Each structure stands twice: as C-alpha cells, then as structure tokens.
Amino acid sequence: MSVANNRSNSIPFLDLITPHVELEQELTEVFRKALQTAGFIGGPMVEDFEAAFASFCGTSYSVAVGSGTDALRFALTAGGVKPGDVVVTVPNTFIATTEAISQAGALPEFVDVDERTYNLDPARLAEYLANQCTVNDEGRLVSRRSSRFVTAVLPVHLYGQMADMDPILDLAERYRLTVIEDACQAHGAEYFSQKHNRWMKAGSIGRAAAFSFYPGKNLGACGEAGAVTSNDASIAEKIKMLRDHGQAKKYYHDMEGYNGRLDAIQAGLLRVKLPHLAKWNAQRRERAAEYNRLLQSAEDAVVVPYEPSWSRAVYHLYVVRTAAREGLMNHLKTAAIGTGIHYPIPLHLQKAYAEMHHQTGDFPIAEKVAKEIVSLPMFPKLTAEQQKRVVLEILNFSSRVLKKNAEGERALSLADRTA
Ligand SMILES: *Cc1c(COP(=O)(O)O)cnc(C)c1O
C-alpha cells in the first residue's frame, strides 16, 4: 500500500493514528491493568473479549488466537480437514488463505470468482464439483487433478463483502463438504440468507470462521491477533487446545498443537475498540456510498464496487476497476493520494505455487480483475472533501487519457501494426 507524502493536503490510503488517539486513555489503561496483574497470556481479558466478539458476530463461541492465519489453520483442522485433503478456495485472496490450507496439511485447489462481486462464484464451484471431481467406491469425493479427497470449501469474504453463501452451503451439503469462512476482511458484514430467512453476520454461517485483527483490518489490534467463531462447542474446544499445545489441562497433551494464543494486552485493546466497530463500519458504508455517487461522473473510466441486494458490505477496502490502472495510480501518487492493489498476482500464478503447474488462462476472471483493480483511500474518518479531491483527480486523469487517446489514435494503431 502506498503511503502519502508529507504535503498537508495528502490523503493517506488508511489512517491508523486517529482511532487510537481518540481512545488513548482507555487503551493505555489496558497496559496498566496487564502490568499490575502480570496477566499477559490468556485469562479474563481474553475471555472477556471472546464473549464480546461472539456476541457481535451472533455466534455461540469465539476463540481468540495469535493471528488470522492461525485462525484459518486451526478452523480447518478443527473442522475435520485431514493431511492430504483438498480444500477449495479462490485464487484472488491474500496468500494467508492458502498458507493456512497447506499448513493444515491440505492442498488448495481453486475455483474462479464472480466478475462483479470478486467472490467465489457458486456456479464455478458447482462446475468444479461436478466435472473436476469423481466419487470413489466408498462414496467419497475425489479431485481428478490431485486424486485427493475434497473435504472443505473456504470462501473468502473479500474487501468486506460476503460471498453468496446460500448456494455454497447447498453444494457443501450435497457433496458433504465442511464450509470454513475466511472472514478476515469482513468483521460485521452481513448476508441475507434465504435459507434462514434473515440477515446473518460474517462468521456465523459456516461450520467455523476465521477473523484477523491485523492493525489495518476493520477491527485491528495494536499488533497481531485473530479469532475463530463457531456455533459448534466441539470446534471451540478443539481450537482452544490447538492454540495451546494440544492441552486442555496444563501439561496433559491430548495431541500436538501450536503456540497460537492471543496476548491478554491485545485482547484488552480489542475489547476497548470493539464497541466502536459498528459505527466505524457504518462510516465506511457512508464513505463508499459517497464514492459511488461522486464516481457516477467517471463511469467511463472506472467500475465501482457492486453490492448485491443480499449483501451489506463493510468496505474493508473500496476497490474500483480501470483499464488504465498504472497510469491512474501514478497520477494519484503525484497528487499525494495513497492507493493499493489487492492483489496484483492471483495465487495460482505466484512463484510460491509454481509446483501447482497452473498457467495464465486457468482462472480468467481472477486474472482479468487482478490487472484492473485499484483500492482507493478508505477509512472511517475519510472526509467528503478528501473524497471529492480523490474523484476530481480521477476525472482529471481520465479526461487527459481520453484526450490523448483521441489525438494519438491514428499514431497508436499505426504503431500497433508495425510492432
Ligand atoms: C489479513 C488476512 C488474513 C490473515 O490474517 P493475519 O492476521 O495477517 O494472519 C487471511 N485472509 C485474508 C483474506 C486476509 O485479508
């Protein structure tokens, strides 16, 4: 992510300073309390935050862990994913999603995304399950690609908007797959489920869900933190063991686990910030609506985010698409406006996954989108004036490009032909 320069009218990509300045007294009190009790790991501060976060998500349980990546890995293992299994996910996500799958001993396989929501396309998932998998003699689903058992699907609620969960749950039921949500960008996002006939929060629909409280997320710690939510008591118990070396009682290890606990200080800081999350999310939604309104005059130049009627997104990121991405980003940089790309290279084309032997064209929507997306400044305290300036600069850029294109059209097409 680009960081704005020191010009006084610079607009940062995100603002992590203001919310902490506003809550400074309450936040520093957490440190004092931790020092006085020396309660640094686990304990009442962690339990208090867990209860509050479960209540926020509308789940029976929340188990705090060291990071979002831990949360994903533990959720997969506790959800029954075994070493050697295949977990189906999307290629356009942060690598932590697939790292967690690999670290749980499983193998990620991808399905492409919906071009409007950028989230897992249930139609592609159906196609994958029907055509790229077979059912073996024991009635188990096997991937043709890897000859491994397919046991879970991991939809990512990207940019703060939930994936279309009803059809995903239907397919999961039909093929007996466990659904684990990657809700690391979607604290408080909602989905209208026709199956349940009500709005449901991210993290409350799958068998379990992973949240990250990395500082830049909608709810961020002042360091690393994460949580798993679930309505299943046995999953919550299993996660508590996984995060603490496989023990439920000190030094009695039922299995090998991890050092994946949450610091009490981080839990305390998160507990202070949590009551503000709904308001911050509402402010993000207002900022997104304002961008949408302002960008109507630039609809030739950029595509704004699409929010289906069944979705209430929380705009962790406000992502637009443009064919002239590099030019636009450079123009905004010169105007001291921060931007980012989330994410420039789909996972199937990353060097880390060269051994999967994927190639360009395997997931065309994810690939196309990756070339065009740009994330504009988005944070709760972004002002209408700042947004006006961002959009004005987008308009300046696009009119310049359009003008240049019109003038240079002949020359360009000539150059193309001689190239
Ligand atoms: C942030 C993030 C993670 C990982 O969370 P950490 O707390 O950084 O480990 C996983 N998945 C997605 C989609 C994320 O945005």
Q: Ligand 1 pocket: which of 97, 113, 266 to mutate (most atoms <8 Å of CB)?
A: 97
From atom 7 of ligand 1, which residue's Cα is the shortest distance away?
Answer: 68
Q: Could you tell me which CATH class the domain 18-276 is placed in?
A: alpha beta
From atom 6 of ligand 1, which residue's Cα is the shortest distance away?
Answer: 68
Ligand 1 neighbours, Cβ below 6 Å, are 67-69, 93-94, 96-97, 156, 182, 184-185, 212, 214, 226
Cα-to-centroid distance, 364 and ligand 1 (Å): 24
Cα-to-centroid distance, 404 and ligand 1 (Å): 40
pLDDT number for residue 1: 45
Q: How much of the chain exceeds pLDDT 90, in percent? A: 90
Q: Which atom of ligand 1 is nearest to the CA of 93?
A: 13
Please enumerate in sequence order all residues whose Cβ is within 8 A of that of 73, keeping only pairs 6 or more positions apart, or say none.
Answer: 100, 103, 104, 258
Q: Please, which pLDDT band fits residue 2 given cuts at 50, 70 and 90?
A: very low
The tokens of 28 are what? 């520093």
Report pLDDT digits (tens) over 4-53.
Answer: 444 568 999 999 999 999 999 999 999 999 999 988 998 999 999 999 99
Looking at this protein, which amino acid is placed at residue 93? Answer: T
Cα-to-centroid distance, 408 and ligand 1 (Å): 44
Question: Has residue 413 got a pLDDT over 60?
Answer: no
Please enumerate in sequence order all residues whose Cβ is within 8 A of that of 226, keeping only pairs 6 or more positions apart, or say none.
Answer: 64, 65, 66, 67, 68, 69, 70, 71, 184, 210, 211, 212, 213, 262
Q: Please, which pLDDT band fits residue 128 given cuts at 50, 70 and 90?
A: very high
pLDDT number for residue 409: 55
Secondary structure of residue 58 in the 3-state scheme: coil
Q: Please, which pLDDT band fits residue 399 given cuts at 50, 70 and 90?
A: confident
Superfamily name and number for 3-14+277-401: Aspartate Aminotransferase, domain 1 (3.90.1150.10)
Cα-to-centroid distance, 69 and ligand 1 (Å): 6
Cα-to-centroid distance, 154 and ligand 1 (Å): 13
Cα-to-centroid distance, 294 and ligand 1 (Å): 30
Domain ranges for the chain, please list them.
Answer: 3-14+277-401, 18-276
Q: Which atom of ligand 1 is nearest to the CA of 67?
A: 7
Query: DSSP letter at 316?
Result: S
Report the run of H or E that residue 210 belongs to, with start and end. strand 208-212
pLDDT number for residue 280: 98
